[in-house]
Amino acid sequence: MQRRILGFVTAVLTVACAAGCGSSSGTDGSSSSGGNKTAQVKVGIIPIVDVAPLYLGQKKGFFSSRGIELEMESAQGGAAIIPGVVSGQFQFGFSNTTSLMVAQTRGVPVKSVVNGATTTGNTTTDVTGVAVRKDSPIRSAKDLAGRTVAVNTLKNIGDTTVRESVRKDGGDPSKVKFVELPFDQMPAALDGGRVDAAWMGEPAQTIAKSQGARVVTSPFAETDPRLTLATYFTTTRLTKENPDLVKKFTEAMTESLEYASEHPEEARQILTVYTKIDSEVMEKLTLPDWPTQIDMPSLEKLASLGEQDGIFGDKKPDLDALFQ
């Protein structure tokens, strides 16, 4: 596991040097940093419901009105998106907050620019949950000890918050066995018995429920009812070299979050643009909350749990530098 984490860090630091030690041409994704020319901006995303405001904002013209032409590219998780942003493959990315903390403690030059998604705070129906088969003997979080649980990325926000749920329920979090699977493969893996449980985002969670699965714990809401789950980020270099582009992206994304919060059904409908879900699943799935402000106390708690799990090594994340 340590070799895997070190490999990730080495890869990110390598592309960080490649992006930061050479010329600056092309780092802003546009042919001109000023004037009225349109900036071509690539955003690395995870194809889950959390990024619906981004697609909705694109549709409503919040980005184009600010001279930004968006292109979205999918990845498995925030840990995979970060190297793409640092290398210049993407100008911005969507990542869970733990991935960003890990990157920063390893010296990766990233900076959050605007909120992404927040838990609903509902411990019975949240945007993520740990699901088990209908006939599983697992009844609550503590029963996950000694079981195999799928998460989309190891040593990250999923297993950290699952451990916290197990701990709060009186179980031994150190005995949970985590395996890595993409969200879209989890319903089949669970239904086929390849894992005992799966921590799923939407729409995978609702798809699994339609196959008979039941949710036994909601780790995000149980960790903190105001937990900031993910944000949109860029490199510290881009914030210095093209602050105008960063400002426009942040403004457009803020408007998108506000609109999605006020028009949840439009946000739900936009899912058909980037996910393969049928209408029945789309109507049943749980949407996250999309406040424009990051909740710092919840991130302090998440960082503390990450330190407890040992995912940051011997260096603590600087939350103020990363998220404010």
Question: 273, 267, 272, 282: which is closest to 57 by C-alpha?
Answer: 267
**Would you say residue 58 lies in a domain?**
yes
The ranges of the chain with pLDDT < 70 are 1-36, 76-78
**Would you say residue 124 lies in a domain?**
no
- Which CATH number do you get for residue 134? 3.40.190.10
242 and 213 in a common domain: no
pLDDT score, position 75: 81
Q: How far apart are CA 205 and CA 193, in angstroms?
A: 16
Range of the domain at 193: 129-223
pLDDT score, position 78: 66
Mean per-residue pLDDT over the chain, rounded: 89
266 and 213 in a common domain: no
109 and 234 in a common domain: yes
109 and 44 in a common domain: yes
**Would you say residue 188 lies in a domain?**
yes
Q: 192, 223, 254 — which closes off a domain? A: 223
Give me the DSSP letters along 278-303: -HHHHHHSPP-B--SS--HHHHHHHH
pLDDT score, position 47: 87
Q: How many domains does the chain have?
A: 2
pLDDT tens sequence across 208-238: 999 999 999 999 999 999 999 999 999 999 9
Q: 160, 194, 223 — which closes off a domain? A: 223
114 and 7 in a common domain: yes
pLDDT score, position 33: 39
Q: Are 218 and 124 in contact (CB under 8 A)?
A: yes
286 and 191 in a common domain: no
231 and 218 in a common domain: no
108-125 core/surface letters (b: 16 or more CB in 10 A; e: else): bbbbbbbbbbbbbeebee
254 and 115 in a common domain: yes
